[in-house]
Amino acid sequence: MSWRDEAACLDVDTDVFFPAKGDRPVEALAVCAVCDVRAECASWALEVRPQIGVFGGMLPRDRHHVVTGRLTVAQVWAMRDRQVEAWMMEAAS
C-alpha cells in the first residue's frame, strides 16, 4: 500500500489541481489541507519538481520557494491555509 492510497484527492476531479492561469486553486488547497498524506505528497513534489499543479498543499511557486530555501513547507502550508480561509470567506460574503 502506498501513501497515494490514502490521498484525500482520490475522488476529486484532477482538473481541480491544475487550475487555469488566474484561477484561484481554492478547492485543491482545501482538499490538500485535510489530506492525511500531505507531508508525503509534499516530499514527493519537492523531489520530482512537477512544473505545474497543486501537490502537497503547494503551488509550483511555493515549491520553488521551499527548494530555494526562502520558505519552509510548514510556512507555505500556514500561508496557504490562511489564504484558502480568506478566499472562502470572501466567496461567502
Interface residues toward ligand SF4, by CB under 6 A: 7-9, 17, 31-32, 35, 37-38, 41, 55-57
Closest CB to ligand SF4 among residues 9, 76: 9
Min CB(59)–ligand SF4 separation in Å: 11
Closest CB to ligand SF4 among residues 50, 82: 50
Q: Pick left, alpha or beta for residue 49 (phi over 0 → left; psi -120 to 50 → alpha; otherwise beta).
A: left
State the residue for C-alpha cell 498524506. Answer: 37
Min CB(82)–ligand SF4 separation in Å: 17
Min CB(61)–ligand SF4 separation in Å: 16
Measured CA to CA, the distance from residue 11 to residue 9 in angstroms comes to 5
Min CB(34)–ligand SF4 separation in Å: 8
Closest CB to ligand SF4 among residues 26, 93: 26
* Dihedral angle computed from the Cα positions of residues 24, 73, 79 and 22, in that order, rounded to the nearest 10 degrees: -20
Measure Cα distances from 43 to 38, 55, 88, 90, 93 in Å: 9, 9, 27, 31, 36
